[in-house]
Chains A and B, each alone.
Chain A
Amino acid sequence: MPQLNPDFFLTQIVWLTISFTVLYLILWRVALPRVAEVLETRQDKIDDDLEKAARLKAEAEAALATYEKTLSDARSEAQSALRQAVAELTNEAAKRNAELTERLNREIKAGEDRIAAAKKQAVSSIASIAADAATRATERLVGRAPDAKAVETAVAASLKSEEK
């Protein structure tokens, strides 16, 4: 086996040491930091992008919440306005209704009063008309006018029995 020839042990180890040391120093000082830098930059970029995405998402969510709040506020405002309007209108209607009822009642009362007065007047004139008519009728039939006093009592009695 050529590997066991001790003549070449020293040169192999010497050149191994030289090449390994040179490789180690260059990788350690030059090559590996470059790779690390690129990987770090990429990781930073990814982290940065993720962070940005999270921020935008939060912003969007906040905007959505604001929008929903505005919407619900508007809705409740509209509802309260509606309720208020309905209440006002109901009130107004009730007031007008009351006014109208009162007016009508007043007018009915006035009408009734008028009717009662007319009736009273009519009733009071009935006696004299009846007496007059009775006097005239009697005058035609008998040829002379009856005693006015007697006619009045007779008419009154007759009216009284009529009223019963």
Chain B
Amino acid sequence: MAEDHGHSPLHQFEIAKIIDVRIGGADVSFTNSSVVMTIAVIAIIAFLTLGMRRRALVPGRWQSLAELSYEFVGNMIRDNVGKEGLKYFPLIFTLFMFVLFGNLLGLVPYSFTYTSHIAVTAALALFVITVVTGIGIAMHGLHFFSFFVPKGVPAVMLPLMVPIEIISYLSRPVSLAIRLFANMMAGHTMMKVFAGFVITLGAATFGVGAIAPLAMNVALTGFELLVAFLQAYVFTVLTCLYLNDAIHLH
């Protein structure tokens, strides 16, 4: 079974224990997924602090990148939430960078993509929706639940509309989690499938057949780079929109 997985495009999603850790019988081992998460954390901190270490008035390339990421997220919040949203800037920035670096590090060969795991994306999505709902309730109290009562709808329609609104609200974390997970998984699977073609077709045709799937994989790598960035952006922008709903209600 393990050998069989070695050639499967899904093998890259396997989790391997590196250090076995058990707390009260629960398995919280340090795995390849945890390694990449740790690398992402270190890389993000290094990207920002080392990039900004000169604190130059006229930034160099690296500092420009660090500042660009800062202003990118800042503008995203200003555009989608408004000035009130800037209070949550560190959280949204962390979210963006964590997802972005998870996606990008996953593109490194032999690495692991933690954003291609539903457990991770679902946990992030649930966290987002919990925090956002918490902010909404903290700001508006019980009035927050008026969010589920659409304005300008006749009272007769409300028994129908309110459940729809609630279901649509609850489906937000689901779509948030599945969108990221599915995109990352599909892209990485496709790359591995074509990589498999390079080997099998190349072996069968003395290398000639490898050209087309290899070219495809080159294109896919570029495309995946775009998807990595785009999905991090989408995840963050949706978080901003949900935050906007929580702060401004309708």
A residues lining the B interface (CB < 8 Å):
1-5, 7-17, 19-20, 22-24, 26-28, 30-32, 34-39, 41-42, 45
Which listed residue (B10, B40, B66) contacts A19, Cβ 8 A? B40
Does B94 contact A10, Cβ atoms closer than 8 Å?
no
Q: Which residues of A have CB within 8 Å of B127?
A: 20
Does A16 contact B94, Cβ atoms closer than 8 Å?
no
Determine if B147 is an interface residue (Cβ-Cβ < 8 Å).
no
Q: Which residues of A have CB within 8 Å of B13?
A: 1-3
Shortest distance in angstroms between A128's beta carbon and chain B's nearest beta carbon?
127
Does A38 contact B67, Cβ atoms closer than 8 Å?
yes
Does A12 contact B33, Cβ atoms closer than 8 Å?
yes
Given A1-B13, A19-B38: A32 and B124 within 8 A (CB)?
A: no
A2 to B113, CA, bound (A): 12
18 A–B contact pairs at CB < 8 A? A1-B13, A2-B14, A8-B119, A11-B29, A16-B119, A19-B41, A20-B94, A22-B41, A23-B40, A23-B41, A23-B94, A24-B94, A28-B94, A30-B49, A31-B45, A34-B52, A35-B66, A39-B67
Interface of A is mostly: helix
Q: Which residue of B lies closest to A33 (CB)?
A: B90
A37 to B48, CA, bound (A): 13
Given A23-B44, A27-B45, A42-B57: A15 and B30 within 8 A (CB)?
A: yes
Shortest distance in angstroms between B235's beta carbon and chain A's nearest beta carbon?
13
Q: Which residues of A have CB within 8 Å of B33?
A: 8, 11-12, 15
Shortest distance in angstroms between A37's beta carbon and chain B's nearest beta carbon?
7
Interface positions, chain B 41-93, Cβ under 8 Å from A, are: 41, 44-45, 48-49, 52, 55-57, 59, 63, 66-67, 70-71, 89-91, 93
Q: Which residues of B have CB within 8 Å of A1?
A: 10, 13
Determine if B34 is an interface residue (Cβ-Cβ < 8 Å).
yes
Shortest distance in angstroms between B111's beta carbon and chain A's nearest beta carbon?
15
Shortest distance in angstroms between A16's beta carbon and chain B's nearest beta carbon?
5
Q: Which residue of B lies closest to A41 (CB)?
A: B57
Q: Which residues of B have CB within 8 Å of A3?
A: 13, 116-119, 181, 185
Determine if B227 is an interface residue (Cβ-Cβ < 8 Å).
no
Does A11 contact B28, Cβ atoms closer than 8 Å?
yes
Does B98 contact A13, Cβ atoms closer than 8 Å?
no
B residues lining the A interface (CB < 8 Å):
10, 13-15, 21, 26-31, 33-34, 37-38, 40-41, 44-45, 48-49, 52, 55-57, 59, 63, 66-67, 70-71, 89-91, 93-94, 97-98, 114, 116-120, 123-124, 127, 181, 185
Does A32 contact B89, Cβ atoms closer than 8 Å?
yes
Shortest distance in angstroms between B36's beta carbon and chain A's nearest beta carbon?
9
Given A23-B44, A45-B57: A15 and B28 within 8 A (CB)?
A: yes
Q: Which residues of A have CB within 8 Å of B57?
A: 41-42, 45
A41 to B57, CA, bound (A): 8
Shortest distance in angstroms between B93's beta carbon and chain A's nearest beta carbon?
6
Q: Which residues of B have CB within 8 Å of A30?
A: 45, 49
Q: Which residues of B have CB within 8 Å of A38?
A: 52, 55-56, 59, 63, 67
Which listed residue (A7, A32, A39) contacts B93, Cβ 8 A? A32
Shortest distance in angstroms between A1's beta carbon and chain B's nearest beta carbon?
6
Q: Which residues of B have CB within 8 Å of A4?
A: 118
Given A19-B41, A22-B41, A27-B48: A12 and B94 within 8 A (CB)?
A: no
Q: Which residues of B have CB within 8 Å of A27?
A: 44-45, 48, 90, 93-94, 97
